[in-house]
Amino acid sequence: MECYSYIKLVNFIRSTNTSCDTIMSCDRPLWSDDKYMTPVNQEDPWLMFDFDDVEESSMLLDSGDPPRSGYHVNAEDGRVTLSEMHFAELQKTIKNLNSQIKEKDEVISQLVADMQRMKATLGEVMVGESNHNVVLNQNVGGIRLEDDEEYFNTYAHFGIHHEMLSDEVRTTSYQNALCLNSNTIGGSTVLDLGCGTGILSMFAARAGAAQVIGIDQSDIIYHAMDIIRENNLSDKITLVKGRLEDTELPVPQVDVIVSEWMGYFLLFEAMLDSVIYARDKHLRPGGLLLPNRCSLSLVGGCDQVLHTEMLGFWSDVYGFKMSSLRGDVVREPQTCVVSPDNVATTPAQLCMLDLMTVTTDCMEFEADFQIVATKSTLLTCLVGYFDVFFDLPNPVTFSTSPMCKPTHWKQTVFLIQNPISVKQGEVIRGKLTCRRNRKELRSLIVTIILGNAKQRYLLS
């Protein structure tokens, strides 16, 4: 019996409830009609068997003897007469098939259980908030390179580098950290992780580094190679194209690792994973990581204009209501510069990261916070920002706080769907939970509980 006949036979039996005696006594297949190719039960376990395997195995008896043929079968008056030897062989075949069926049933039961677990896990992944042990690859080094190319391609265009290099706070801070500490950097081997145009590599060379290795997977590195040659620094700076986790460096260990890895809300894009990997694999004992500390903070805001622009807008669009879109809008944090005039509370530090000791688990955290209203107003948002520290003989620090000079990171604004009226001096308590997005490890899911309200935000 070939595979299609087997499928038809199973569906014929399911649809007609034909007895075994009828099947065995028929002189021609009753199931030849193609309509029996359609399953009666979509999850029929008999249709899940590897029929070829069953057919092949059923031909081999427990004794290992080859199948026998040529038996005489007498059918008369509805009765079938077999020889003892033929009957014994059929009994062995039935026993063998029953054993196979039992094994297959066990396999199917296991597969069904596995499918249930997969469904449950997928549900958690789609929702985006589950036990973080569900993630198989818990950091970006586990992402297949071809799946990560979109991230690196965002840094291939000159536009983003123009924006970053034009950020005076950012670029000057790195320049000062390296060049004002030339006694520390001088003579060292430096790794510039995510080197981009090579600006930090050149600062390190200017500070007296003996050797600088810059690495970047983005195609911008080809421009960086031209820039290094243009500035006659090829004798000191070596550039490597590749993702650090997949690439062998010219030297196994370095004295200093410098990287501008911070994303919006500090942790977005999860480049910190690569910094930690570089620290653990390539930084010699006693070496320097620049920056070496970062803090993440939250402050209340009262930007009614932004709230109306982003959420109130949908209440009346040319005379039509589109309020169903408000939920999607509020879930997406805004990246914008918040005026100091729209800061309405004291700040609260959510976490302080010692980059010399943290693990990739630091990407996920929970923090209770308490902020105090500095004026009576309507609280329309919570504003996230971070501070960066270079703890060197000549220390350098900078902040992305709304109270400081704006940077290209701006601030991360979490809109409050229903603004809260607060009085000056009032204490507002809340809780913020940060998790990796299960569908995209470089993205974040932030959940904020403020009073009795709970809102979830997606940074992607």
Looking up residue 436, the CATH number of its domain turns out to be 2.70.160.11
Residues 82 and 154 in one domain: no
Q: Residue 192 and residue 173: Cα distance in Å, rounded? A: 15
Pairing of strands 334-336, 254-258: unpaired
Residues 113 and 169 in one domain: no
Residues 108 and 255 in one domain: no
Q: Residue 219 and residue 156: Cα distance in Å, rounded? A: 5
Helix extents (H) in 144-233? 145-153, 158-165, 168-179, 182-185, 199-206, 220-230
- pLDDT of 7 reads 78
pLDDT cut 70: percent of the chain above it: 85
- DSSP-derived letter for residue 67 is P
Chosen domain end from 101, 126, 151: 126
Of 72, 96, 99, the closest CA to residue 83 belongs to 72
Active-site annotation, residues? 260, 269
Asked if the model's pLDDT at residue 139 lies above 70, the reply is: yes
Residue scoring higher pLDDT (315 or 85)? 315
pLDDT category of residue 70 using cuts at 50, 70 and 90: low
The structural domain count of the chain equals 2
Contacts of 267 (CB under 8 A, 6+ apart): 296, 363, 434, 444
pLDDT category of residue 60 using cuts at 50, 70 and 90: very low
- Average pLDDT (38-55) is 65
Question: Would you mind telling me the total number of residues written for the chain in this entry?
Answer: 460
Classify residue 190: in a domain, yes or no.
yes
Residues 108 and 169 in one domain: no
Q: Residue 280 and residue 337: Cα distance in Å, rounded? A: 35
- The structure tokens listed for 77 are 């008056």
Q: Residue 114 and residue 102: Cα distance in Å, rounded? A: 18
Classify residue 135: in a domain, yes or no.
no
Asked if the model's pLDDT at residue 72 lies above 90, the reply is: no
- Average pLDDT (14-39) is 76
The pLDDT mean for the chain works out to 87
Residue scoring higher pLDDT (95 or 331)? 331
At residue 222's C-alpha, the angle toward residues 216 and 225, to 5°, is: 95
| pTM of the complete model | 0.70
Q: Residue 204 and residue 186: Cα distance in Å, rounded? A: 8
Residue scoring higher pLDDT (68 or 43)? 43
Residues 79 and 184 in one domain: no
Asked if the model's pLDDT at residue 110 lies above 90, the reply is: no
Residues 433 and 354 in one domain: yes
Residues 114 and 149 in one domain: no
Phi, psi angle pair for 18, to nearest 5°: -65, 140
- For 157-204, the pLDDT digits (tens) are 889 999 999 999 999 999 999 999 999 999 999 999 999 999 999 999
Three-state DSSP string of 278-310: HHHHHEEEEEEEECCEEEEEEEEECCHHHHHHH
- Average pLDDT (427-445) is 93
- DSSP-derived letter for residue 336 is E
Asked if the model's pLDDT at residue 59 lies above 60, the reply is: no
Residues 162 and 225 in one domain: yes
Under 8 Å between Cβ of 438 and 134: yes
- The structure tokens listed for 223 are 């421009």
Classify residue 133: in a domain, yes or no.
no
At residue 400's C-alpha, the angle toward residues 290 and 395, to 5°, is: 35
Of 74, 95, 71, 78, the closest CA to residue 19 belongs to 78
- Average pLDDT (429-443) is 92
- pLDDT of 155 reads 87
Residues 358 and 390 in one domain: yes
Classify residue 134: in a domain, yes or no.
no
Residues 219 and 258 in one domain: yes
Classify residue 97: in a domain, yes or no.
yes
- For 258-272, the pLDDT digits (tens) are 999 999 999 999 899
Chosen domain end from 63, 96, 126: 126
Chosen domain end from 100, 126, 152: 126
Phi, psi angle pair for 362, to nearest 5°: -65, -15
Contacts of 175 (CB under 8 A, 6+ apart): 203
- pLDDT of 66 reads 45
Asked if the model's pLDDT at residue 99 lies above 50, the reply is: yes
Q: What is the DSSP string of 246-258?
A: G---SSS-EEEEE
Residues 439 and 384 in one domain: yes
- pLDDT of 220 reads 93
Of 329, 323, 338, the closest CA to residue 382 belongs to 338
pLDDT category of residue 120 using cuts at 50, 70 and 90: low
- For 285-341, the pLDDT digits (tens) are 999 999 999 999 999 999 999 999 999 999 999 999 999 999 899 999 999 999 999
pLDDT category of residue 136 using cuts at 50, 70 and 90: very low
Asked if the model's pLDDT at residue 61 lies above 70, the reply is: no
Residues 110 and 163 in one domain: no
- Average pLDDT (115-119) is 71
Average the pLDDT over each of 68-72, 245-249, 307-311, 399-403 and give the range with the smallest value. 68-72
Residue scoring higher pLDDT (92 or 2)? 92
End-to-end Cα, the chain, rounded Å: 55
Q: Could you tell me the residue range of the domain that residue 99 belongs to? A: 3-126
Q: Residue 390 and residue 200: Cα distance in Å, rounded? A: 14
